[in-house]
Structure 1
Amino acid sequence: MKPLAIPLLFLTVSAGFSAFAAQQTNTGENKKMDSVVIPVTSESDRPVRIADPAHFTGKAIVAPLFPAEAPSEATAAYVTFEPGARTDWHSHPVGQHLAVTRGSGYIQFWGGERKKIGQGDVVWIPPGIKHWHGATPDNSFTHLAVQEHLAGKTADWMEKVTDEQYGMPKQLPASPAQPSRAQQLMGETAPKLAELTDQVLYNDIWERPELSKRERSLITVSALIALNRPDQLRSHMSLALKNGVTQSELSEAITHLAFYTGWPSAVTAVGIAKDVFKADQKQ
């Protein structure tokens, strides 16, 4: 064998061995990666709950996202406030980030002015700052809350936010109760139907925490479009806007339903939506 052939042979063997070793290493790493279980939780695994009335005024729904996983101390949840609902005064030992995802609301630091916040806004609440936050009187409000535990807790709760602090006008002497919409429409002819509408439909079904009022509004509007019920659709579109459904979402729902319920129903809904949107802009 020629002298030059020996180094070439050695290099060829070395390269082949290195490639084999690398392949074995990669195979081992792949096996390790294949054995790692990726923790994923579905929405159904994270049941929503009504916020503790001891710390809230009005109704709020909490939809947890994740608990603290050591070594991290961070937790997160979506919180949806119905119109007029708000937290009590409180603080966070490690601070809190709020990201508004829908609707409009208020936040106020102790000693400061109340500030209105809306979809897309992100708020940083420094550690130990006394504050409250919640929905405006006329709109629902959803935010993502991210905070950390310290000594096993994420918040220190304090006193209630008064109506004056929230910005509610002083209560006038109580006037006689006005008949509900259902009583006005059906009370004389079908009083029991009016009673069931008020007590079961609106005071029970619409208040159940399994679906938010925003979600129930979308479902109801979709059903009324499909059934081509213009009179009921008008009032429920207005209610949907108050419950946090956006105009663009209602428009998209109409477009989507045109393919499933027919163009005539969708065209009727477009005319109603146009009137409802115009009235909403004037408010």
Structure 2
Amino acid sequence: MKYSFFAVFAFAALFNMGCKEPVSTKATDGETNAIFPKGKLGPAANFTGKAWNTDLVANDTRYNTVVGNVYFEPGARSNWHIHPAGQILIITDGVGYHQIKGQPRQTIKKGDVVKCPPNVMHWHGASPDTGLQQLYIVPNTEKGIVKWLHPVSNEEYNNSK
């Protein structure tokens, strides 16, 4: 079926009228370019510094998966935590750190994919000078979503070994 240029243009214009434009930040002063809106500030009980969360796929019994976006401001990080069924991180911008308990801290950056194994204590967050944008995927939520633990110390955060 052939469509005229005008029909395609009109459809695109109507479709885009209902779409929200994502919040975009300039990649200056340690910030990153956002794909999704900044979202809600994460609770200080679970984060050191400011981390902003946007829920993208809510938990339900059909997919049993949670998907969201987190922006960590420079220096911000999660507490140590555990996901009963694991977690996948897709780094979409910036530079940060990820560490599994008992292993060296890893530097993560745009384009990296990180697999956090089930029931393994870990943390992640931004580097001191650059923010970090990440998508997170938590599968099999019927096993539980997250168990928050204690804060990551400054010594742990700064230790690259």
TM-score by length of 1: 0.42
Q: Alpha-carbon deviation of 1:78? A: 0.5
Deviations 1:107-149, CA, capped at 9 Å, x for gaps: 0000110000100000011100100000000000000000031
Decide which of 91, 96, 100 is 2:87's aligned counterpart: 96
1:109 aligned onto 2:100: yes
DSSP 3-state at the match of 1:77: strand
Contact 1:82–1:140, Cα closer than 8 Å, also in 2: yes
2:157 matched to 1:166?
yes
* Partners of 2:98 and 2:38 in 1: CA distance: 27
Higher relative contact order (CA 8 A, sep 6+): 2
Q: Give the number of the structure whose alpha-carbon radius of gyration is greater.
A: 1
Change (3 A) 1:69 1:102: same
Q: Aligned Cα RMSD in Å?
A: 1.9
- The separation in 1 between residues aligned to 2:105 and 2:65, in whole angstroms, is 27
- Structure 1 portions without partners, runs of 5+: 1-40, 169-283
CA change 1:146–1:160 in 2 (3 A) is: same
Q: In the alignment, which of 87, 111, 117 is matched to residue 126 of structure 1?
A: 117
Flag the structure with higher strand content.
2
Higher relative helix content? 1
Contact map agreement 1:85 1:135 (CA 8 A) in 2: yes
Q: Which runs of 4+ in 1 moved over 6 A?
A: none
Partner of 1:60: 51
Gaps of 5+ in 2: 1-17, 22-36
Is contact 1:78-1:142 (8 Å) kept? yes
CA contact (8 A) 2:38 2:71 kept: no
CA contact (8 A) 2:99 2:106 kept: yes
**Quick one: structure 1 residues 154 and 103, their matched pair in 2 at CA, closer, same or farther if it must change by over 3 Å?**
same
The answer to whether the Cα contact below 8 Å between 1:47 and 1:64 also exists between their aligned partners in 2 is no
- In the alignment, the residues of structure 2 paired with residue 43 and residue 86 of structure 1 have an alpha-carbon distance, to the nearest angstrom, of 28
Q: What amino acid does structure 2 have at the position aligned with 1:120?
A: G
Distance 1:105 1:123 in 2: 12
For residue 64 of structure 1, report the CA deviation from its aligned partner: 1.1
2:73 touches 2:131 (CA, 8 Å); kept in 1? yes
Percent of pairs identical after alignment? 37
Q: Distance in 2 between matches of 1:47 and 1:140?
A: 12
Deviations 1:6-34 (A, max 9, x none): xxxxxxxxxxxxxxxxxxxxxxxxxxxxx
Q: Which residue of 2 aligns with 1:150?
A: 142
| Separation in 1, partners of 2:114, 2:97 | 11
Assess if the C-alpha contact under 8 Å between 1:93 and 1:150 holds in 2: no
- Between the two proteins, the alignment pairs up a number of residues equal to 126
CA positional deviation for 1:61 = 0.6
TM-score normalised to structure 2 length: 0.73
